[in-house]
Amino acid sequence: MSDVDPLAPATVVPNGIPPLLAESFDHGQVTEVRHTVASRAESSGLTGTRLDDFVLAVNELITNAVRHGGGRGWLRLWSTRGTLYCMVSDTGAGIDVDRLDDRRRPAPEIAGGWGLWLARELSDEMLVRSGPDGTTVRISASLGGPEPGRLAG
């Protein structure tokens, strides 16, 4: 078991692996970053609905960073050992623990609150660290593996 925190702030990705993408972004760059993530993820071997799901999950994370996390964020994308990872960080006030622990699907009539839920549902794994100095979320998708179950209903 490693003592390294997988969500520790870093200027490089864990294990010194060169990132596929390392960008800061603000509201005006969300679309550009999403397109770049899609391109890099596809070049890494993610295809079909797995690619679509991963890109949508990343889009939800970067949108949350801009809307709720101080207006800007940082993204790191890397691949190692057959898994694609994306980490998004912001400097917002953090996410309430009750909200982080709530795994229920948001009510259909609710306009907000879908971002983290979707990111969790559309990725293989999601880790979150949040506090008064910001939030960091890391998601992953297995490359070339079987497609996980799709969202129900």
- Whether 25 contacts 75, CB under 8 Å: yes
pLDDT digits (tens, 9 = 90+) for 25-64: 999 999 999 999 999 999 999 999 999 999 999 999 999 9
pLDDT digits (tens, 9 = 90+) for 57-105: 999 999 999 999 999 999 999 999 999 999 999 999 998 887 777 777 7
Q: Where are the domains of the chain?
A: 20-142
Count of residues making up the chain:
153
Question: Which residue did the predictor score with more confidence, 115 or 125?
Answer: 125
CATH 3.30.565.10 fits 20-142, yes or no: yes
pTM: 0.84
Q: What is the CA radius of gyration of the chain?
A: 15
By the 10 Å C-beta count (0-12 exposed, 13-18 middle, 19+ buried), 105 is classed as middle
